Amino acid sequence: MTSAILVSILMTLVAASTPILLAALGELVVEKAGVLNLGVEGVMLTGAVAGFAVAYSTGSTGAGLVAALVAGVATAMVFAVLTLSLTANQVATGLALTIFGIGASSLIGAGFVGRTITRLGPAFPEALSGHPLLRAVLGHDIVVYLSLALVLAVSFFLNRTRPGLILRAVGENDASAHAIGYRVIAIRYAAITFGGALAGLAGAYFSLALTPMWADSLTAGRGWIALALVVFAAWRPARLLLGAYLFGAVMTAELQFKAAGVTVLPPEALAMAPYLATIAVLTMMSLGPKSGRANAPACLGKPFSAS
Amino acid sequence: MTSIITRRRFNFGAGASAAALPFTAGRALAQAPLGVGFIYVGPVGDHGWTWTHDQGRLAVEKEFGAKVKTSFIEKVAEGPDAARAIRQLAQANNQIIFTTSFGFMNPTIQVAKQFPKLFFEHATGYQRADNVATYNARFYEGRAVIGTIAGHMSKSGQAGYIASFPIPEVVMGINAFHLAAKKVNPNFRTKVIWASTWYDPAKEADAAKALIDQGCDIITQHTDSAAALQAAEQRGVFAFGQASDMKAFAPKAHLSAIIDDWSGYYVKRVREAMDGTWKTGDVWGGIKDGMVKIAPYNDAVTPAARAAADAVQKGIVDGTLHPFTGELKDQKGVVRLKAGEKASDELMSKMDWYVDGVQA
């Protein structure tokens, strides 16, 4: 295999990993604040359709990315109002949000089926990435670099800053955080806003970069992989990065093996791999020294109302 | 998730609404329009399979005007739940109902038993009854035409084929494509990736990229989205559209497409239902019947490839060419067709073996 092919495979791998990394990173912050949002898939879809609609109408993929952020936040706000202000059940509301997102995106996108836009291009001028090895480093689009920067930023924020500590406190013990004067609900609103923005961006990565078109259920279940990934990473940003690229590698390897005529496992088995890996990690975590829920935020999924 | 969560939209054409039904029933003794119902598995806007069926519905409206009233339910999940949707159409004054996906087979038979006076038409299935007919298209004929073009246009002599599931319909298409390409280039290779899905645009695009990485310079697919075409366009290789003309997605890469055209069949069957001459039966129509069409060739298609593709079409139409003509051996060397023998419909509809040169 020449280096050009290896680089090409690497580019496919990075592109496949980026949206699940973004969506999972947003969900990680949400869960660290003690909220379980199962509606990631739905938020991704509204982001995907809004991004495409705006990019198609204005001719600017940049405007599309911004629109996806806004649409993601707007959809996540529905979830936030229901679960935080009205203390609805988070699991049921999250599932409902996915169903809502599938339907709403299909309705909004009906007029955009069959249209195309210019794909989101590389972030740097192509002259810089003439050599295959340079292309592997400099040939990606802006969202890829943004996702990597965000992993660093989130990791630093959660572990090295005071607001990060407060956010974690809210997720670990909402009553105590409330008692010493932190505004639990406001902090959770902020976390859900961040999660919604990233899920919206992840969705737009499908409709603007991976497959520049709109079609119903474009993300085809990647939101669920992102949710599994957060558990797989044991709520740690660095492990999330590793996990996302591992999941991306598994998805890409499956196809490369088939194309090369190597049958390692049946394709159905490889399609199960991300979920099997998550179950395996969960099992290992509960068998480990800190048994039980290990690193999961203690208040994850519990409704909070100040009394 | 789509198998569980489906959005149902009950849609009446020709301006009628559910509230108006009592009135139309009252007029039934006069010249009431004939109700024609359709059940779709996908959204009308899928730009593929369901879209082509809806084009057929629109052709029925155009042909008969006020004499018909068409309606459809889209995004109906395959399986037992479909019975509810079919029954809904049966109770809404429809005389003839088309159920347009393989997975609607058992529900169609079940509902048809409860409505013996109505006519049912099930696409791609094999179970029939006195009031249930089946119909399908000979897509493999189209595959033979695009395979011929692929044989001429490929420089590397390798095509990538993104397939959904190893059912006879798909296997037949792979073999027909490969045999036609091999006739042009005896060393031709067809590499198959099983996507294990009918629809996952990102995965279809990644599969296309993997095939291109492995040296394929022609991409074709038996999945539903145009994502593979976009990937081919991006990488500068050729590809073919599926179910409808997909040139808009890949102006340079799109060499041609296999188009499904159900209009002729739907108009004919609705006319028979009107005249009272409708009978059950099984139709498997191809290029000759206009059920399968080939999209206009891209400018990039060479004169030699055009001539060869036209010749294949002509041969299929006048019956001198059958895409599956012996001697034909499978990959294990077993002779499946003797020299000069043409494949029977039965042999094709049970095909579960690959011809030599297919990497599946």
Which CATH number is B143's domain given? 3.40.50.2300
Q: Which residue has the tokens 């690193």?
A: A295
Cα–Cα separations (whole angstroms), residue A55 to A68, A108, B58: 10, 14, 31
* One domain for residues B205 and B335: yes
- Asked if B211 and A103 come within 8 Å (Cβ–Cβ), the reply is no
Which amino acid type is present at position B105? M
Map out the domains of chain A with their CATH numbers: 3-116+133-287 (1.10.3470)
| Total Cβ atoms within 10 A of residue B17 | 8
CA nearest A13 in B: which residue? B206
* One domain for residues B214 and B226: yes
| Two tokens, residue B221 | 């697919």
- Asked if A220 and B213 come within 8 Å (Cβ–Cβ), the reply is no
- Asked if B359 and A261 come within 8 Å (Cβ–Cβ), the reply is yes
User: What number of residues does chain A have?
Assistant: 307
DSSP β-ladder status, B10-12 and B68-73: antiparallel
Q: Pick from B59, B103, B53, B95: which is nearest to B73 by CA?
A: B53
DSSP symbols for A164-179: HHHHHHHHH-HHHHHH
* Within a domain: B219: yes
Residue of A52, A255, A264 to mutate when probing chain B, most B C-beta within 10 A:
A255
User: What number of residues does chain B have?
Assistant: 360
What is the C-alpha to C-alpha distance for residues B19 and A51, in angstroms, rounded to an integer? 38
- Asked if B209 and A16 come within 8 Å (Cβ–Cβ), the reply is no
What is the C-alpha to C-alpha distance for residues A53 and B258, in angstroms, rounded to an integer? 29
Q: Which residue has the tokens 């009252």?
A: B26
What part of A 3-32 touches B (C-beta under 8 Å)? 5, 8-9, 12, 16
Return the H-helix or E-strand segment holding B63: helix B49-64
Among B137, B163, B188, the domain-final residue is B137
ipTM passes above 0.90: no
Q: Pick from B199, B94, B227, B167: which is nearest to B348 by CA?
A: B167
3-state class (DSSP) for residue A159: helix
* One domain for residues B132 and B144: no
CB–CB contacts below 8 A, A to B? 119
- Label each residue of B318-343 as H, E or C: HCCCCCCECCEEECCCCEEECCCCEC
Cβ contact B353:B346 at 8 Å: no
- The domain of B312 spans 139-260+292-359
Q: How many domains does chain B have?
A: 2
| Two tokens, residue B338 | 């003797």
Bridge partner residues of B98 (DSSP): B38, B121
Instruction: Extract the residue ranges of chain B whose pLDDT is less than 70.
Output: 1-31
What is the C-alpha to C-alpha distance for residues A101 and A48, in angstroms, rounded to an integer? 10
What is the C-alpha to C-alpha distance for residues A76 and A94, in angstroms, rounded to an integer? 10
Beta-carbon contacts of B224 under 8 Å, excluding residues fewer than 6 positions away, are B42, B46, B48, B49, B198, B199, B242, B243
CA nearest A211 in B: which residue? B227
CA A274 to chain centre: 15
* One domain for residues B156 and B16: no
- pLDDT at position A294 is 63
Among B137, B158, B185, the domain-final residue is B137
Q: Which residues of B touch A9 (CB under 8 A)?
A: 210, 213
What is the C-alpha to C-alpha distance for residues B71 and B81, in angstroms, rounded to an integer? 19
What is the C-alpha to C-alpha distance for residues B317 and B185, in angstroms, rounded to an integer? 24
- pLDDT at position A167 is 96
- pLDDT at position A111 is 86
| Two tokens, residue B200 | 């996952």
Residue in A5, A221, A258 closest to B193 by CB:
A258
- Asked if A220 and B197 come within 8 Å (Cβ–Cβ), the reply is yes
CA nearest B210 in A: which residue? A256
- pLDDT at position A252 is 87
* One domain for residues B244 and B302: yes
CA nearest A108 in B: which residue? B45
Bridge partner residues of B326 (DSSP): none
* One domain for residues B14 and B79: yes
- Is A252 in CB contact (< 8 Å) with chain B? yes
* Within a domain: B284: no
| Two tokens, residue B265 | 């069949």
d(CA A253, nearest CA chain B) in Å = 9
Which amino acid type is present at position A60? S
What is the C-alpha to C-alpha distance for residues B99 and B39, in angstroms, rounded to an integer? 5
Tens-binned pLDDT, residue by residue, of chain A (307 aa):
578 888 888 999 999 999 999 999 999 999 999 999 999 999 999 999 999 999 999 999 999 999 999 999 999 999 999 999 999 999 999 999 999 999 999 999 988 988 889 989 888 887 777 788 888 888 899 999 999 999 999 999 999 999 999 999 999 999 999 999 999 999 999 999 999 999 999 999 999 999 999 988 899 889 999 998 998 898 999 999 999 999 898 888 888 888 888 776 776 777 677 778 778 877 877 776 665 456 789 999 988 887 6
Among B119, B137, B155, the domain-final residue is B137
* Within a domain: B269: no
- Asked if B201 and A251 come within 8 Å (Cβ–Cβ), the reply is no
Beta-carbon contacts of B59 under 8 Å, excluding residues fewer than 6 positions away, are B263, B266, B267
- Asked if A116 and B46 come within 8 Å (Cβ–Cβ), the reply is no
- Is A250 in CB contact (< 8 Å) with chain B? no
Cα–Cα separations (whole angstroms), residue A187 to A24, A34, A40, A168, A190: 19, 10, 19, 10, 5
> B39-49: string of b/e by CB count within 10 Å (b at 16+)?
bbbbbbbbbbb
* Within a domain: B277: no
What is the C-alpha to C-alpha distance for residues B311 and B314, in angstroms, rounded to an integer? 5
* One domain for residues B130 and B239: no
What is the C-alpha to C-alpha distance for residues B199 and B226, in angstroms, rounded to an integer? 10
* One domain for residues B26 and B130: yes
Residue-wise pLDDT tens digits, B253-284: 999 999 999 999 999 999 999 999 999 999 99
* One domain for residues B88 and B124: yes
What is the C-alpha to C-alpha distance for residues B335 and A263, in angstroms, rounded to an integer? 26
3-state class (DSSP) for residue B198: coil
| Two tokens, residue B71 | 């309606």
d(CA B194, nearest CA chain A) in Å = 7
- Asked if B46 and A206 come within 8 Å (Cβ–Cβ), the reply is no
* Within a domain: B37: yes
Half-sphere exposure of B214 (CA within 13 A, CB side): 26
Cβ contact A13:A248 at 8 Å: yes
* One domain for residues B68 and B41: yes
* One domain for residues B60 and B178: no
d(CA B47, nearest CA chain A) in Å = 6
CA nearest A210 in B: which residue? B202
* One domain for residues B180 and B250: yes
- Asked if B45 and A113 come within 8 Å (Cβ–Cβ), the reply is yes
Helix axes A61-80, A90-109, angle to 10 degrees: 140
CA nearest A19 in B: which residue? B202
Q: Which residue has the tokens 């559910």?
A: B18
What's B301's DSSP letter?
A: S
* Within a domain: B5: no
Residue in B160, B202, B226 closest to A206 by CB:
B202
Q: Which residues of A touch B214 (CB under 8 A)?
A: 256, 259-260
* Within a domain: B29: yes
| Two tokens, residue A78 | 């529905």
Phi, psi (rounded to 5 degrees) for B293: -130, 160
d(CA B348, nearest CA chain A) in Å = 25
* Within a domain: B272: no
- pLDDT at position A124 is 86
- pLDDT at position B31 is 67
Q: Which residue has the tokens 């295999």?
A: A1
